Chains A and B, each alone.
Chain A
Amino acid sequence: MNDEELDRRFRALPREIAPPVGLWSAVATRLGEQEATRSESRWRAVAIRVAAGLVIFLSGATAGAWMSAPSTEPLHGDPPFLAAIRVQQAGSALVRATMELEATAALTPGSAATVAQGREVVHSTIELLSRRVAGP
């Protein structure tokens, strides 16, 4: 085959190919998911900043031991910056757990009872964290 014949074949290829019908739906779904994630991220960023600010406000002293303290004891005494980081991490983990829970609920029909139990666990953990931050 010579160059001219190859060029002729190239030119014969269509410049456009109609994509499958479902492609727009797939794109629209992805865009919707992105918007949801973005607004969730905004919410999460605000929530974590509020929690961190609260800890900085509540824990003024510099001594203390978060790691060795029993879970029922308050966070008082942790260096504020360290405490803030720990609460940020704990807050992120909880939000992730909640998101996973919601995703599971959406994907698994009939899982309402299990999901409700999961929500309980997340909420009681948040309460525990709040008690540790606020103290008795």
Chain B
Amino acid sequence: MDERDLALLKRGDETAFRRFFDGHSPRVYALATRLTDQDGAALEVTQEVFVQAWRGLPRFRGDASLDTWLHALTVRIARKYWRGEVRRRRREARYLDERGGAPHVASIELTAIDLQSALRELSPRVRAAVVLVCIEQRSYAEAAQLLGRAEGTVKAQVHHGRQLLRERLDR
């Protein structure tokens, strides 16, 4: 993206924003798909990223690249989504408990499982660390900054996540 495009974006030019969306949405959607564990959630997160980007672009100072800024925004919105999702699932579990427990769900034996599905089985925190370091190729320091965690914590989460993924993929 050149200076002229960036200036147009910061002024709120709709055509420039449409080009920006077309150019960046596949990366954002891929990241959102990996950070969340449901297809619908990835869409919601991607939509929210671009709505907030539209609002935030006039204040974009260019300290980091636009790509990094957009990635940070995606991670922040995905984290907000997990927190809401965790609360929702807890509420539902409580509701079911109060009414005599959750209905029995037959366990599913997965005979063939791909990496994307295995990723979705990780906890949101571990998954985010693995996605940023192993797929997005961010350094531990960058991932730690994006996730708001200590670098050591991210290293431990990546190690743990990789171990779980190997086990799942070996099944």
A97 to chain B, nearest CB (A): 27
Residue of B nearest to A11 (CB): B135
Size class of A's contact patch? Answer: 20 to 34
A109 within 8 A of B: no
Contact of A17 with B51 in the complex, beta carbons under 8 Å? no
Stretch among A2-10, A46-54, A59-67, A82-90 lining the B interface:
A2-10
Q: How far is the CB of A102 from chain B (nearest CB, A)?
A: 22
* A10 close to B51 (CB less than 8 A): no
Could you say which residues of chain B place their CB within 8 Å of the CB of A15?
27, 30, 135
Digit string of B123-142 for contact with A (CB within 8 Å is 1, else 0)?
00000000000110000000
User: Contacts of A13 on B, CB cut-off 8 Å?
Assistant: 115-116, 135
User: Is B43 an interface residue, CB under 8 A from the partner?
Assistant: yes
Is A110 positioned at the interface, with any CB of B under 8 Å from its CB?
Answer: no
Q: Which chain B residues lie closer than 8 Å to A18 at the CB level? A: 26, 29
**Quick check: which of B100-108, B143-151, B162-170 contacts chain A, the rest being far away?**
B162-170
A30 at the interface (CB under 8 A from B): yes
Which residues of A in the span 1-54 have a Cβ within 8 Å of any Cβ on B? 1-3, 6-7, 9-10, 13-20, 23-24, 26-27, 30-31, 34
Q: Contact between A10 and B135 (Cβ–Cβ < 8 Å)? A: yes
Q: Please tell me if the beta carbons of B21 and A17 are within 8 angstroms of each other in the complex.
A: no
A residues adjacent to B (C-beta < 8 A): 1-3, 6-7, 9-10, 13-20, 23-24, 26-27, 30-31, 34
Q: List 24 A-B contacts (CB under 8 A).
A: A6-B162, A7-B134, A9-B115, A10-B115, A10-B135, A13-B115, A14-B30, A15-B27, A15-B30, A16-B27, A16-B29, A17-B30, A19-B26, A23-B43, A23-B47, A24-B18, A24-B22, A24-B25, A26-B43, A30-B47, A30-B51, A31-B54, A34-B51, A34-B55
A-B complex: 3 closest residue pairs judged by Cβ atoms: A16-B26, A19-B29, A17-B30
Known: A16-B29, A34-B55. 18 other contacts (CB 8 A): A1-B166, A1-B169, A3-B162, A6-B165, A6-B166, A6-B169, A7-B134, A10-B134, A13-B135, A18-B26, A18-B29, A19-B43, A23-B25, A27-B21, A27-B50, A27-B51, A30-B47, A34-B51
